[in-house]
A and B are shown apart, each in its own frame.
Chain A
Amino acid sequence: MEEYAREPCPWRIVDDCGGAFTMGAIGGGIFQAIKGFRNSPVGVNHRLRGSLTAVKTRAPQLGGSFAVWGGLFSMIDCSMVRMRGKEDPWNSITSGALTGAILAARNGPVAMVGSAAMGGILLALIEGAGILLTRFASTQFPNGKEPAEDVSQ
């Protein structure tokens, strides 16, 4: 329980950034391996070399963009937690929207709004899935009635 004795928040940013990079690199590695394999000349050596080249070039790029998204999202989330003083699903949704908006800032205000909506909706779905999972996990142990009225009055 030592890890939960300290505040999770500033260290959570590094955690999320690294986790996102790993996800992007592994997922991108698999996709680019298959794509590079298929887009190479006939012959197993050619194909393997093409697949390896594609993985070496493209997978870190995808991992990098995932890491930027994850790191920025976690930073905004921790800032909101600190500002509001409360941990809520609202923090996550707003963080997702702001992350989408900031990452589309080069394409003008309309693109920012669209990207913010997408980020917010995506995070809302993820939060909904998380809430569903915790509710299902907690209703696995049926309690019925809570009789212990241990009110120290």
Chain B
Amino acid sequence: PASLGRGCLGRWLLATRGWALLGAGARSRSCSCLRWRHQPPLLLAAARRSFGTQAGGLKAAKPGGNSKDVSVQRALNEETLVSAAQKVKEAGRDFTYFIVVLVGIGVTGGLFYVIFKELFSSSSPNKIYGDALEKCRSHPEIIGVFGDSIKGYGEATRRGRRQHVSHIEYVKDGLKHMRLKFYIEGTESGKQGTVHVEVKENLETGRFEVRYIFVDVETYPRRTIVIEDNR
């Protein structure tokens, strides 16, 4: 390296004198000579830099044969150093996520169960309200008072949706009873009615059967139309 360095020095002196005349080829040669002169310290710096990028390339996932080997070795070293604490933290995080997922599934399942019971079970207040409304619609006296198309609704909530039918459940003589109250309105304006329904549970069939249905008409002499009375 020393002899070559001297030779390069000579060429360097020549290059600086004839810099403009020599042209690109000589310049590259002189540049390469310069580069080679400064190579040993540069080699160390480059090695440090490449070592650094290879270590950082763990996360960047650079493809390339030997860089991958180096990164795998570094990864192994790093894993054995932090594995215990890392594993505990990850296990804790996974456990928290699992609990959150379980709670979410539980809440969703509960809501689905409530809505299915409300809509499909025959002992839900909504079903009884539907059946009573059908009976009201097909009763001639009701049609005579209220008009043809009768609509029913329940209690008004603050948003104006009137889906909730007010009902009370109680147990009498060991049997479950339910009492409902909803309102009907017909095409004739101003005529509103309140329908009171009571059902009793029939132990043999397990369904609710109607005890009475009657309608209070809100006219001045208050009329009561009895649709069904099985007391």
Contacts and interface: CB of A to CB of B under 8 A. Distances in A.
A28 to B, nearest CB: 22
B208 interface: no
A35 interface: no
B115 A12 contact: no
Interface stretch (B8-16, B27-35, B150-158): B150-158
A143 interface: yes
A125 B152 contact: no
Contacts, number: 81
**Interface size band for B:** 35 or more
B119 A90 contact: yes
Interface stretch (B18-26, B46-54, B90-98, B163-171): B163-171
Contact of A85 (B152, B171, B224): B152
A131 B224 contact: no
B163 A89 contact: yes
B130 A86 contact: yes
Given A12-B159, A15-B159, A144-B170, A86 B152 contact: yes
A143 B170 contact: yes
Nearest to A85: B151
A90 B116 CA distance: 11
Interface in A108-128: 124-125, 127-128
B180 to A, nearest CB: 12
B220 to A, nearest CB: 15
Contacts of B161: 8, 12, 87
B114 A146 contact: no
B99 interface: no
A92 B156 CA distance: 15
A89 B168 contact: no
Interface in B169-217: 170-172, 179, 212, 214
Instruction: Name, among A15, A87, A125, A146, the residue most crowded by chain B CB atoms within 10 Å (CB to CB).
Output: A87
Interface of A: 3-4, 8-9, 11-12, 15, 81, 85-92, 124-125, 127-129, 131-132, 134, 143-146, 151-153
The 3 closest A-B pairs by CB, nearest first: A8-B160, A128-B111, A85-B151
